[in-house]
Amino acid sequence: MKIRRIMTASVSSGSGKTLITCGLLRLLQKKGYRVASFKCGPDFIDPMFHEKVLGEKSLNLDPYLAGPSVCRMLLAEHAEHADLSVMEGVMGFYDGISPASSEGGASDLAAVTDTPVLLIVPARGMSRSALALIRGFLDFGDRSVSKPFERVTSGKRIRGLILNRVSRSFYPVLKDMIEKETGIPVVGYVPVLDDSMTLESRHLGLVLPDEIRDFQQKLDRLAALMEETVDLSKILSLADEACDLPDEEIAGTEEQMLKAVRGNLPCTGNREMDKLRIAVAEDEAFCFLYEDNLALLRKAGAEPVPFSPMHDAHLPEKTDGLILPGGYPELHAEELSRNTGMREEIRKAVVSGLPTHAECGGFLYLHRVLVDPDGRAFPMAGVFPGRVRNTGHLTRFGYASLSGAPFFGIKTGPVRVHEFHYYESDDPGTDFLAEKPSGKRAYRCGFSRTTLYAGFPHIYYPAEPRVAGAFLRQCAAYHEQEVGSICRT
């Protein structure tokens, strides 16, 4: 499969990667290109920015969580009808799951998908030092990165450069010097931007795009600027250098994934009543949800149904399962608490056996009390008796693997997950053993019940599709039980 693609990467976090990526996406859109966008790694917020720009869902590609073949499958699937695919890297280009490994990082994803890279270099205050920095990235050969495509080493995948925070007058000097001494084309620059065109951050990353005043106008101004300062035709020619993806492997990977999901499902026929309805919390408080998780549920025959714990009075009708994803419930604790009918309905549903997947922010919501950032305590759903509060620092961060307990009654083996939270619970659970990739740290966490997974770790279904299958199996059992009780009535 031929997929025209490019990755935007950077030398470090805070280099302007997300802003420049969004500007490039809008510029391509204005030029009439159909664009598919992706984010390297487990981040939830950057894909929201991509979606806000394009009006289309952006997917995560995580070679550590999902593995190389699944990343290639998801890339091919989402990019099938696009003219160009744009991947945004994570952290610095060579940063990965630990200081000793680039696995899971941008260079790893570039390797497993054979994607040409545009390296964003924040060159403000530099002259010849910028050259030394760039040569280091070009010459660095990282042996820890997966290399199914053996054509080039990591550094050689950097095919172009964008200089960030560089003055218009000094740019030609830097461009000429860099191209003469490295042979790598400098495809453009972005000058120092004023506050009206930058993005704000808070404790879990950037503020959400819906919270940014005049966001679309900011993007339009940035795209208009980049149309003058970036060589779009050169970027497109670099994207053409990506090799074809292996068709047979992609088809086989999808078949294996669906088989892993459906292997845990009972044979319920094809009647319309057998389509499982999964209530999915989606609003200002619950917005950290992998689109690939929902896509896999749909492929298995389920119907995700969005609802709002903040604004709706009841769960969706005929609900067979419940997903409470992550987000910012702590910023909306008062509104969530005020919706007493919904809190009580969810408590009764979970306690009575409605299959429920609650992670991070969703896990916070199921506690008895949530303390907001101002120290105010608000009643929540009350499934768990403890309190959750802000620690003021990252409590647990990064990748881990969960083992020791089944997911929805099915033993799957270790499941790779990701955590990122400032909040802590009086009782975060002990059913799972979480082990860090380095093997030097482990801790107990989470709750495992036949009809419940609850805890801080985020689960990515494509990483272990049997978790999705186990969840749907319990949803199917709940559905049959409810249908049976209606028929008997």
Mean pLDDT of 274-288: 93
SS3 of 419, please? strand
Average pLDDT for the chain = 90
Q: Note the residue count of the chain.
A: 489
pLDDT at 273: 38
Task: Enter the tokens of residue 314.
Answer: 């009841």
**Whether the predicted pLDDT of 449 surpasses 60:** yes
Mean pLDDT of 400-428: 94
In which band, very low, low, confident or very high, does the pLDDT at 209 lie, cut at 50, 70 and 90? confident
DSSP bridge pairs for 321: 278
In the chain, the largest separation of any two C-alpha atoms, in whole Å, equals 81
**Whether the predicted pLDDT of 158 surpasses 60:** yes
In which band, very low, low, confident or very high, does the pLDDT at 194 lie, cut at 50, 70 and 90? low
CA–CA distance from 227 to each of 20, 83, 172 (Å)? 12, 19, 17
pLDDT at 306: 98
pLDDT at 98: 84
Distance, in Å, from the CA atom of 199 to the CA atom of 310, rounded to the nearest integer, reads 26
User: Is 360 a residue of the active site?
Assistant: yes
Q: What is the pTM assigned to this prediction? A: 0.90
User: How crowded is residue 29: how many other Cβ atoms within 10 Å of its Cβ?
Assistant: 17
Mean pLDDT of 317-345: 97
Alpha-carbon radius of gyration of the chain: 23
In which band, very low, low, confident or very high, does the pLDDT at 489 lie, cut at 50, 70 and 90? very low
In which band, very low, low, confident or very high, does the pLDDT at 152 lie, cut at 50, 70 and 90? very low
Q: For 205, left (φ over 0), alpha (ψ -120 to 50), or beta?
A: left
pLDDT at 144: 47
pLDDT tens-digit series, residues 105-138: 999 999 999 999 999 999 988 889 999 999 999 9
**Whether the predicted pLDDT of 1 surpasses 80:** no
Please identify which residue in the block is written with the tokens 């806000």: 52
Angle between the N-to-C axes of helices 247-262 and 291-299, in degrees from 0 to 180, rounded to the nearest 10: 70
**Whether the predicted pLDDT of 341 surpasses 60:** yes
**Stretch (H or E) spanning 387:** strand 384-390
In which band, very low, low, confident or very high, does the pLDDT at 198 lie, cut at 50, 70 and 90? low
Distance, in Å, from the CA atom of 282 to the CA atom of 280, rounded to the nearest integer, reads 6
pLDDT tens-digit series, residues 210-232: 777 788 888 999 999 999 999 99
**Whether the predicted pLDDT of 102 surpasses 80:** yes
Quote the percentage of the chain above a pLDDT of 90.
75
Q: Which is catalytic among the residues 22, 40, 71, 360? A: 360
In which band, very low, low, confident or very high, does the pLDDT at 55 lie, cut at 50, 70 and 90? very high
Weakest-pLDDT range from 88-102, 198-212, 399-413: 198-212
pLDDT at 150: 44
- Specify the higher pLDDT residue, 16 or 142: 16
Quote the percentage of the chain above a pLDDT of 70.
91
